[in-house]
Structure 1
């Protein structure tokens, strides 16, 4: 990341990544003759990091797509991920929800300044601070003041994310936790400050945004998501909940330093904040969609609040400005107890990158960030060479 990465990381990494602190892989900046060879090298270097078993990388660069899978999904057993592997993308799910909300705003179904209580059946006087209500824009920009997770005990568990007990404790909390439980607990939420002023990451806010979308479109969130992405991005293999057959395609994964594979992320009431599952080819389609520059994409990445000249939030997208190498770019991290991933959209190079590993620990995010930076450096070097060639022609 850029020199302000510590400040930005505190603001935009998901709660499941709160303990991801230490550095990962590095690489040289000399570009290979073929970009695919660069990606191969970066992937190979990434899985050399401690505890990382495998990785998949998707790159769309100036219209051309690359996919690479490296390593073994299960430690000690030959078998790399494939194009058919379903990955849990954690909080990258939020960018999908943001896209749906941008479409709803453009269609006039929702207004950014709507009081969210317009879309709730019960009275929630607690969802305001001294008369200032939580609005739709506050959900999207993590400035609502809502807690990160409901129920409250999930936040306690996540303070020690790398503890080997964490996946099991999360499973127990969410085993029978549905929408009715969410709305019950929402009555107990307390807003500590005026909404819209301070960043405080909130998966609760994303789940509530999914409810708003269900209300205005009168359909369940997963059907809404799959229908929109199929029509707009050609993405037909996106899931929130899996059938038994689909579950067999789900990537095996490891939590922290536990050598035993762990269970999937538990199902949240709507799943909008962290339950999406996709294949890498589907993420290529998502990268193409994000690079297309259509009206919904443009709206979804419009800054709703600026925290400083280098960092803003759109419709759940993190917007980093002024980076010497990357320019202005859009990014999000995703993490669950057995996988972590990043998506980067870099208009400066007409470039989209998706990286995922099937391990989730305190070094994983930094390792992926270093891999992405190496890739961008290689592409930047490639463009400098191409620019010199054009000048000499």
Structure 2
């Protein structure tokens, strides 16, 4: 089992897409609909931050919240201390400074908020949602968040940039941004589903592929980055934690996908994209 890091964001967005397809949530719902009542309206010039903007990184939220660096931060496990009260505390004092939906700005915090909102809406933990809503229906039996029993036994040792062993990461309230652990076989199942293989999640998967933002440097679906090479379009996402790197990409038209999982902190996305471009 490997930490897949930010590839987790595509799972979080798929959970959202599944709720939208079922009619229980809307992409354009303001995020305040699903936040505690004591958090002020998160708007800019009357325009609210929406669920879609959390999924496509156009919310205006920073990459990481300023208050994550306060208190005791363990550099070996830098998110562990950031519990839900800290996530909400940041939102209570946050003042949007850019029109939501207009600028792509990658945000681990935004994806973490989305995961937290889904937990609140469905009254289940992020791990329970991932396992019951995505993994079990797809037969992904070795994909999880916590490391218990067999997962701990089969967990690969990660290594940092210097080749030193690293500890597993605990993403606390930001689980939606990067907490999943998985295996190569499970991630191949996941990628085949993205390529259109019949599954109970087909409608939600297709929704997650639809462009929701088009910028000069980056276009986005829900969670997925969208890139073009020549006349060909492919979707992809990479991930990284203290001792792991990951890449998932696929070209639906050509029915071709790439999965790379590494237990070393050496980037692999260039390798994955090179396959897709060729």
TM-score between the two structures when normalised by the length of structure 2: 0.89
Deviations 1:283-311 (A, max 9, x none): 11101111126211110111111114x84
Mark the CA change 1:330 to 1:118 in structure 2 (over 3 Å): closer, same or farther: same
Q: CA RMSD in A?
A: 2.3
Give how far 1:179 is off.
Answer: 1.3
Give how far 1:144 is off.
Answer: 0.5
- Aligned partners of 2:221 and 2:261: how far apart in 1? 23
Q: 8 Å contact 1:151–1:182 — kept in the other structure?
A: no
- Aligned partners of 2:272 and 2:104: how far apart in 1? 27
Flag structure 1 segments of 5+ consecutive residues without an equivalent.
1-85, 157-166, 378-393
Partner SS state of residue 18, structure 2: helix
Q: Which residue of 2 aligns with 1:370?
A: 271
Flag structure 2 segments of 5+ consecutive residues without an equivalent.
none
- Aligned partners of 1:212 and 1:371: how far apart in 2? 31
Q: Which residue of 2 aligns with 1:346?
A: 251
Q: 8 Å contact 1:229–1:236 — kept in the other structure?
A: no
Give how far 1:150 is off.
Answer: 3.3
Deviates more, 1:229-238 or 1:332-341: 229-238
Aligned partner (choices 211, 214, 227) of residue 320 of structure 1: 227
Q: 8 Å contact 2:76–2:242 — kept in the other structure?
A: no
Aligned partner (choices 288, 291, 303) of residue 211 of structure 2: 303
The list of structure 1 runs, each at least 4 consecutive aligned residues, that deviate by more than 3 angstroms after superposition, is: 150-154, 173-176, 374-377
- Aligned partners of 2:54 and 2:169: how far apart in 1? 22
Mark the CA change 1:320 to 1:372 in structure 2 (over 3 Å): closer, same or farther: closer
User: 1:159-174 residue pairs with structure 2 within 5 A?
Assistant: 168-169=74-75, 171=77, 173-174=78-79
- Aligned partners of 2:149 and 2:206: how far apart in 1? 37
- Aligned partners of 1:121 and 1:328: how far apart in 2? 40
Q: 8 Å contact 2:208–2:224 — kept in the other structure?
A: yes
- Aligned partners of 2:37 and 2:149: how far apart in 1? 36
Deviations 1:251-309 (A, max 9, x none): 112111x232111223331511111000111111101111126211110111111114x
Q: 8 Å contact 1:126–1:191 — kept in the other structure?
A: no
Mark the CA change 1:244 to 1:153 in structure 2 (over 3 Å): closer, same or farther: same
- Aligned partners of 1:223 and 1:197: how far apart in 2? 33
Q: Which residue of 2 aligns with 1:23?
A: none
May I ask how many residue pairs the two structures share in their alignment? 272
- Aligned partners of 1:290 and 1:195: how far apart in 2? 28
Mark the CA change 1:371 to 1:206 in structure 2 (over 3 Å): closer, same or farther: closer
Mark the CA change 1:207 to 1:252 in structure 2 (over 3 Å): closer, same or farther: same
Give how far 1:188 is off.
Answer: 2.7
Q: Which residue of 2 aligns with 1:383?
A: none
Q: Residue 180 in 1 paired to residue 180 in 2?
A: no
- Aligned partners of 2:66 and 2:143: how far apart in 1? 27
Give how far 1:372 is off.
Answer: 5.0
Give how far 1:229 is off.
Answer: 1.7
TM-score between the two structures when normalised by the length of structure 1: 0.64
Partner SS state of residue 165, structure 2: coil
Aligned partner (choices 160, 177, 189) of residue 285 of structure 1: 189
